[in-house]
Structure 1
Amino acid sequence: MLAALLSGLVLPAVADQGASGAAAQVVSRERSISEWLLRMHEASRRRAYIGTLVVSSGGSMASARVWHVCDGEQQMERVESLTGTPRSTFRRNDEVVTFSPLSRVAVAEKREALGLFPHLLKTVDAAIEQHYSASPQGSERVAGFEADIVQLTPRDSLRFGYRIWSEKRTGLVVKLQTLDDQGRVLEQVAFSELQLDAPVSMDKLSRMMGNTEGYKVESPALVKTTPAAEGWRLVQEVPGFRAMSCYRRPTASGVDAVQWAFSDGLASVSVFIEAYDPRHHGQEGLQALGATHALVRRVMAGGTSWWLTLVGEVPAQTLQAFSQGLERTR
């Protein structure tokens, strides 16, 4: 969710600012959900800002200081945790380095590209419109800025909804809520303080990101693979979700796990598959923290015991559907 807010949203413009609210809504509704979402994604490439983010989820709260700058196709961020364990994260496009001052460890890895809903551009437009609708919800002030509100409503029970506040002038997202099927807020991320068009130096952030002196640098080895090569397939697809990537990655037990990632363009699900080891794997079950659900279970397939971990900002039944659709092919 934090990565989702570190981006921008441009709402459809109303040519006549004196138009009535009803007329403005008519103009807004002329845009498709795909057009709204593409505007959200593109706006993340245009803004430089400094701000303080507050995340509320599952009764807990955390905050972080954020620096963000763009230079053509290159984006950089610095995120400093203000609560909990001290941690500094630097990100340049898909390159990420996380510094842990207490342990003196820096973890360098690759992650999804920056932006709101990073899988959006890999998803067929019509598929998104089949599963979500968009509607304007008026405006409010957030962090001292007037913001337009848009709500993305799912058309089925396999995904959550979103309510997004975007600063009127720039389109930067200043607040985002994830909603359950009753419209209740599961998770919220919002700026409590924000400086737009801030003088953020990309060169300075690059130097800080590369300064690992005094830190043990760890680089988890990710190996690109395919489900077929690993001996797995999804016999029953989950409506709207498409496979995005598949990697082998190391685990704490020392045995590689397969990570198979899916997205419907907005929501994402990761499926982790590894050989079952009673020394490292505990109790099966479902856990939830705000909008994030995690399902862990042991399964028998191909004469071998496997440990499945499914994680995503989706309802529990979506994870169940993925779990039940997996099949061993060898």
Structure 2
Amino acid sequence: MKPTVALRLCVCVMPLLAGVMALPAHAQDAATAQGHDARAWLLRIHEAALQRNYQGTLVVSNGVQTSTSRVQHFADGGQQVERIDWLDGEARSMIRHNDVVHTLWPNAKLALIEQREPRATFPALFSGGEKRVLEWYELHPLGLDRVAGLPAEVVLLKARDALRFSQRLWAERRTGLLLRADVLAANGQLMESVSFTEVSIGIRSQAEQAMAVLRHLPGYRVIRNQALPTALEQEGWVLSKPPAGFQEVTCARRSLDVMASDSSPIVLQTIFADGLTHISLFIEPFDPKRHQAEAVTTLGATSTLATRRGDHWVTVVGDVPLETLKKFVQALSRKR
């Protein structure tokens, strides 16, 4: 939704500089000074996504698929309102008011309501705590550029190990709002990119208008997906040695298929994060009708690994190398 500090760029990072303007001497000094407080720089990006009012068109590309959406965000009197309308594929809208998320499919007349802890999605940055980002990524200022017609400062968050991908970020110079984020392989190859193609920052709040559709849903089938907070160990599982840097953020039991009947199997979902990216671990009862041989897929930066573990089926998904997901499965064991 994605998918940190020594000031020496290795050879594999040099191709990332293409298209980014070199800093003039006075700007280099400023960037160096800024590098001494990298955490504050990153926090400014994250807070801009939460505290600013903005709306724009967002394009996500993974080299195989491209999707476009219209994004609105309003911080209104301590309330967070976000609306995303997908502009391609099946008509769909997501409207979030604080931690309550409504997903609407107008053609199918279906509304899904979930209460969930907000996770960092673009243009927010941190997933599980900003203080930990710089433990696992090195921050390198790369220069100045423009995105969606706006001047931007560019930095590279270079992964310190092979367990995670590097990210290249463009932040609007005046406000710090993230305008673009690239996920990069170890050799510098672009794996996935999310970017505003146009954006307006500092607009008047339109929170009420964004949520207006929720007041009247004639003919809609409304489904509420209830999640029961829990913990892996409480459910009889142990993760003996998770990949370095990833800590459990949330764990909950929820219906596997909210569109089906109340007898739908229950899935246990646990989310782990290293501060910048997160991984979802799903555990459900093994069903020979649905679960066949081990499955491994990679699409852009996102890898998925699904395998059987005794009487259970385990699926791990994240914007990390496949080997990282394998380490999660290897570390998982049944306690009882």
Normalising by structure 1, we get a TM-score of 0.88
User: Which digits, 9 at most, give the CA deviation of each residue in 1:117-155, with x for residues without a partner?
Assistant: 34343x6x3x43331111111111111111111111110
Q: Confirm or deny that 1:328 pairs with 2:328.
A: no
RMSD value, Cα: 2.0
Pairing of 1:119-268 with structure 2 (within 5 A):
119-121=127-129, 125=131, 127-252=132-257, 254-268=264-278
Offset of 1:299 from its aligned partner?
Answer: 1.6
Q: Which runs of 5+ in 1 are unaligned?
A: 4-16
Offset of 1:90 from its aligned partner?
Answer: 0.5
Task: Measure, in 2, the Cα distance between the counterparts of 1:94 and 1:297.
Answer: 32
Alignment correspondent of 1:293: 303
Q: Which amino acid aligns with 1:270?
A: S
Offset of 1:19 from its aligned partner?
Answer: 6.0
CA contact (8 A) 2:255 2:266 kept: yes
Offset of 1:256 from its aligned partner?
Answer: 0.4
Alignment correspondent of 1:87: 92
Q: Which runs of 5+ in 2 are unaligned?
A: 4-22
User: Which digits, 9 at most, give the CA deviation of each residue in 1:52-94, with x for residues without a partner?
Assistant: 1111114211101111111243211111111111101111122
Structure 1 residues 196 and 38, CA, compared in 2 at 3 Å: closer, same or farther?
closer
CA contact (8 A) 2:306 2:313 kept: yes
CA contact (8 A) 1:75 1:114 kept: no
Alignment correspondent of 1:310: 316
Alignment correspondent of 1:26: 32
Alignment correspondent of 1:52: 57
Normalising by structure 2, we get a TM-score of 0.87
Alignment correspondent of 1:13: none
CA contact (8 A) 1:94 1:114 kept: no
Alignment correspondent of 2:12: none
State the identity as a percent. 37
CA contact (8 A) 1:128 1:240 kept: no
Task: Measure, in 1, the Cα distance between the counterparts of 2:128 and 2:278.
Answer: 11
CA contact (8 A) 1:93 1:114 kept: no
Structure 1 residues 103 and 183, CA, compared in 2 at 3 Å: closer, same or farther?
same
User: Which digits, 9 at most, give the CA deviation of each residue in 1:183-236, with x for residues without a partner?
Assistant: 111111111111222234112223223332221111112111111221001011
Runs (4+) off by over 4 Å: none
The alignment covers a number of residue pairs equal to: 309
User: Which digits, 9 at most, give the CA deviation of each residue in 1:14-68, with x for residues without a partner?
Assistant: xxx9962331232122114x33332222122221122111111142111011111
Moved more, 195-204 or 269-278: 195-204
Task: Measure, in 1, the Cα distance between the counterparts of 2:2 and 2:88.
Answer: 14
User: Which digits, 9 at most, give the CA deviation of each residue in 1:258-294, with x for residues without a partner?
Assistant: 1111101111011101110011223312111111111
Q: Which of 253, 270, 294 lines up with 1:284 in the alignment?
A: 294
